[in-house]
Amino acid sequence: MPSSKPIGLAWRSNTLFIVSTVGIGLFTDLFLYGLVVPILPFILRDRISLPEEQIQSHVSALLAAYAGASVLFSPPAGIIADRVPTRQAPFLAGLVALLAATLMLFLGQTVAVLTLARVLQGVSGAVVWTIGLALLLDTVGPENLGKTIGSIFGFISIGELAAPVLGGVLYKKAGYPGVFGIGFAILALDFTMRLLLIEKKVAAQWETKDDGVENDSEQPDGGIATGEDGDDNEEEPLLRKKEENNYKVPEGQSKMVRSYPILYILKDPRLLTALLLAFNQATLLATFDATIPTEAGRLFDFDSLKSGLLFIALVLPYLLLGPVAGWLVDRYGPKPAAVLGFGYLVPVLILLRLARPGGTSEIIIFCALLSLCGIGLAIIGSPSIVEASYVVSQYDKANPDFFGEQGPYAQLYGINSMVFSLGLTVGPLISGGLRDSIGYGNMNAVVAALCLITALLSVVYVGGKPKFLRKR
């Protein structure tokens, strides 16, 4: 540790600055991903000189390269993050990979270079989501994780919405320099904030007294609401003691489990259900991304710009209600939000079959239905992360020596990132195939059935088994 106190220690380690830095990092990842997607066909045609009939297959391959790299690298990113002294170093390394990827996309003259750029983008995405979520938990603690996640997801959804539209407009008006110029500007801001960031546990080494700067760097202590039912009677201490014993890791674990302790927790049905929530959430988001533009083109003859503007109806409720939904998860636990959110989406998704070709009135109906879906997406935005973090924190508390000084939280978020990326990959494939084979309305009915199954599993497992099942 340097002998002199860093300049600006108070604000650089302030909770708001750390949360903002993570939010900008996630925003940058999604923004640069979406910024490049609409111009990939033009790069392949104009710069690489590919024949027209090969462009679609190469665009799909480049999209798959990003998703595949993110899936494969997320778990290693979590393992690395849990074994280094601070989160900042790998957090910065991920941004270096994103900078290299953006330069390659800007200057690349071959398909191989573009593919490597997309792989590096996927690696960066895996790092920023894995390290970023772990850093959030270190900073705000489990009791504030829900509303923090809800607020950040609402903010980064703006980047996800604006990037494709902005990328298309900038390419049309200013060409490649205009598109990548704004990308490099956001990268510069992101790099500056990550470089200035000082983690809570690092700042604590210089603090001589509590001068009002929050210090939430302790490992989660299970302070989050679990949503479990219970009775305030003489059986409560016995039940609680029995529950604590359920999280003890027996002696004699294999070398693999001792090296990667998160593997032991993966057999817990609560954690598996939480990961299923993340997978289905990503599948829903990807389904909307893949089908709204094509359906808007079929129904209303919208071009890419008008189709992009339709996403405002979907994202705006997410932006406004995400923090509120997150606060409710912190207050009442993840079970009500998971059950009500996925349950609410069942009829709303079915109602999307009401969309019909036509003029202004039909467009308004479609936008209203998308807004109802956005409300559901806001509700289901936080339960997965909060539930998974709580389960892992219970194991970490019961077995501190087994999981190490920092716990297995980055490993958890690495797996969560992998599962989420799988959902983003599988969603367009399934929804696109179903839409082509059985139609848009029936496709949404299938997705609604998936939400219903998720809601039922949430009743049983999220937040612990309900009282009527525990007593049997």
Cβ atoms within 10 A of the Cβ of 229, count?
A: 14
Q: What is the pLDDT of residues 382-395, one digit of tens each?
A: 899 889 988 988 88
Q: Under 8 Å CB-to-CB from 153, ≥6 apart: which residues? A: 318, 322, 381, 382
CB 134 within 8 A of CB 410: yes
pTM for this model (two decimals): 0.78
* Window from 22-26, 72-76, 152-156, 242-246 with minimum mean pLDDT: 242-246
Mean pLDDT for 109-118 is 91
Q: Under 8 Å CB-to-CB from 309, ≥6 apart: which residues? A: 165
Q: What is the pLDDT of residues 326-362, one digit of tens each?
A: 888 888 889 999 999 999 999 999 999 998 888 889 9
Q: What is the pLDDT of residues 403-438, one digit of tens each?
A: 777 778 888 888 988 898 888 778 877 887 888 889
Distance, in Å, from the CA atom of 407 to the CA atom of 261, rounded to the nearest integer, reads: 9
Token representation of residue 11: 């604000």
State the number of CA atoms in the 13 A half-sphere of 405 facing the CB.
7
Say whether pLDDT at 374 is over 60.
yes
Distance, in Å, from the CA atom of 186 to the CA atom of 257, rounded to the nearest integer, reads: 40
Mean pLDDT for 149-162 is 73
> Per-residue confidence at 221, pLDDT binned at 50, 70, 90?
very low
pLDDT for residue 228:
52
Which one, of 102, 67, 98, 101, lies nearest residue 179 by Cα? 102
What kind and span of H or E run contains 308? helix 304-332
In order of 27, 237, 358, 431, 447, the CA distances from 297 in angstroms are 28, 60, 12, 16, 21
Lookup result for tokens 């920092």: 406
